Amino acid sequence: MKKPFNPDEFDTILSVEDVAKEFEALLSIDFTEVSLANELTRLNYEIISPSYQDKHYRDIADYYHIEVDEIV
């Protein structure tokens, strides 16, 4: 019997930390002056965490716990 398609089976939980490991240029940006959300969008990611505050922290490490999703 064929199993019905479930899009939730393909969800991958990523964090800002995961993306930063892939794109090291993010480590040198001052995020009090530059929007992390905009930078991630350029890299085909979007922030999905409701606790995200734009331009709140300088260092990306302070955003590591924020969840992101890949834009497809």
The overall pTM is greater than 0.75: yes
Question: For residues 35 and 43, is the Cβ–Cβ distance under 8 A?
Answer: no
Range of the domain at 48: 10-70
Look-up: residue for tokens 């709140």? 56
- Selection from 56, 2, 59 nearest residue 28 by Cα: 59
Asked if the model's pLDDT at residue 46 lies above 70, the reply is yes
Does the residue 2 lie in any domain?
Answer: no
Does the residue 3 lie in any domain?
Answer: no
| pLDDT the model gives residue 2 | 77
Does the residue 28 lie in any domain?
Answer: yes
Does the residue 4 lie in any domain?
Answer: no
| pLDDT the model gives residue 43 | 97
59: β partners: none
Strands of the sheet containing 45-47, edge to edge, are 14-15, 67-70, 45-47
- Name the domain count of the chain: 1
Does the residue 5 lie in any domain?
Answer: no
Does the residue 25 lie in any domain?
Answer: yes
| pLDDT the model gives residue 40 | 97
Does the residue 61 lie in any domain?
Answer: yes
Does the residue 42 lie in any domain?
Answer: yes
